[in-house]
Amino acid sequence: MNDREDLRRLRSEVCTANRALAEAKLAPLTWGNVSGISSRRDIIAIKPSGIAYEDLTPDDIPLVDLDGRVVEGRLRPSTDTATHCAIYRAWPHVGGVAHSHSPYATMFAQARRPIPCLGTTHADHFAGDVPVARQLTAEEVAAGYEEATGKVIVERFAQLDAMSIPGVLVAGHAPFTWGASARAALENAIALEAIAHMALGTMVGLASAIALEPHILAKHRARKYGADAYYGQRERRSP
């Protein structure tokens, strides 16, 4: 595949993922975006700012470099582009990033509380609690809000494996997820919203919530992503 074919494929994949984000009801109005990075890791395709998802076509998807500068496209890229770029620069194994304002995950972000791992559904997708990144300082916001958002996300994972826990809650804001591709990032956003919904229901509806036992958590991760994984088909095992 040559570079032009790669970029056409990338634009199509990112367009489809953005439309699916809205169809999954994770991004009311235009409150979210999905991006993907080229195979050479030098070009990012991302949703254009403020454009309705149902109107998107692959040709509408802007292309930017790793510093967020537009290299191709007639529309202005998402205002969150600098956050996506920071994630790609920090983690070379990430091939796609999704940002949503899905209701239940956003509730945890607004409460500044991690989503606890209470059951096997959570463990299938996230190897432990989904963490909260710290709030930005006034100085960080003034210096570059979106870039600083990316930096605090990366900072929060200094002692965590970003591919085993492919998502984060930005304090007072909303979630970001990522994966090996734009589609994988979208799937992790869908999973994140589902586990946030279940966690909140468990915490509110019952007298107490019991953390999932570590050996059960480890088993569910290993059967899907471990060296001897046996969940699903061989080509679909990367988070």
Q: What percent of the residues of the chain are helix, what percent strand, and what percent coil, each to the nearest 5?
A: 45, 15, 40
Token pair 């972000």 is found at: 109
Q: What is the residue type of 90?
A: A
Residues 128 and 117: beta-carbon distance below 8 Å: yes
At residue 14's C-alpha, the angle toward residues 12 and 17, to 5°, is 110
Residues 78 and 28: beta-carbon distance below 8 Å: no
Beta-carbon neighbour count of residue 160 at 10 Å? 14
SS3 224: helix
Residues 109 and 146: beta-carbon distance below 8 Å: no
Active site positions, annotated? 124, 231
